[in-house]
Amino acid sequence: MLLAVDVGNTQTVLGVYEGERLVEHWRLATERTRTGDELGVLLGGMLDFESVDGICLSSTVPTLIREWVRLAERWAQAPVLVVGPGVKTGIPIRYDDPREVGPDRIVNSVAAKARYGAPVIVVDFGTSTNFDVVSPAGEYVGGVLAPGIETSMEALFARAARLVKVDYVEPPSVIGKTTVGGLQSGVVYGFAGQVDGIVTAIRGELGVEARVIATGGLAELVAPHSSTIESVDPFLTLDGLRLVWEANA
Distance, CA of 188 to chain centre? 19
Query: How many Å is the maximal CA-CA distance in the chain?
Result: 56
- If you average pLDDT over residues 79-97, what whole number do you get? 94
2-82 and 98-241 share one CATH topology?
A: yes
Contact predicate 237/13, CB 8 Å: yes
**Among 42-46, 128-132, 165-169, which is the least confidently predicted range?**
165-169
Average pLDDT of the residues in 47-71: 96
The pLDDT tens digits of the residues spanning 129-159 come to 999 999 999 999 999 999 999 888 888 888 8
Contact yes or no for 84/98 (Cβ under 8 A): no
pLDDT for 166: 85
Q: Any binding-site annotation on 194?
A: no
Computed on alpha carbons and rounded to an integer, the radius of gyration of the chain in Å comes to 19
Q: For position 207, what pLDDT does the model report?
A: 96
Q: Is 102 annotated as a binding residue?
A: yes
Element (DSSP H or E) covering residue 180: helix 179-206
Q: Please state which CATH class domain 98-241 belongs to.
A: alpha beta
The domain over range 2-82 is classified in CATH as 3.40.50.150: no
* Residue 13 three-state SS: strand
pLDDT of residue 153: 87
Q: Is 60 annotated as a binding residue?
A: no
Catalytic residue among 96, 97, 104, 167: 104
Task: Determine the straight-line distance between the first and last CA of the chain, rounded to whole angstroms.
Answer: 13
pLDDT of residue 164: 74
**151 annotated as ligand-binding:** no
The reply, when asked if residue 84 is annotated as ligand binding, is: no
97 is catalytic: no
8 Å CB contact between 131 and 202? yes
* Beta-bridge mates of residue 29: 11
For the chain, the structural domain boundaries read 2-82, 98-241
* pTM of the predicted protein model: 0.93
Question: Residue 51: helix, strand or coil by DSSP?
Answer: helix
Q: Is 11 assigned to a binding site?
A: yes
- The annotation status of 167 as a binding-site residue, yes or no, is no
15-to-45, 106, 237 alpha-carbon distances in Å: 15, 18, 10
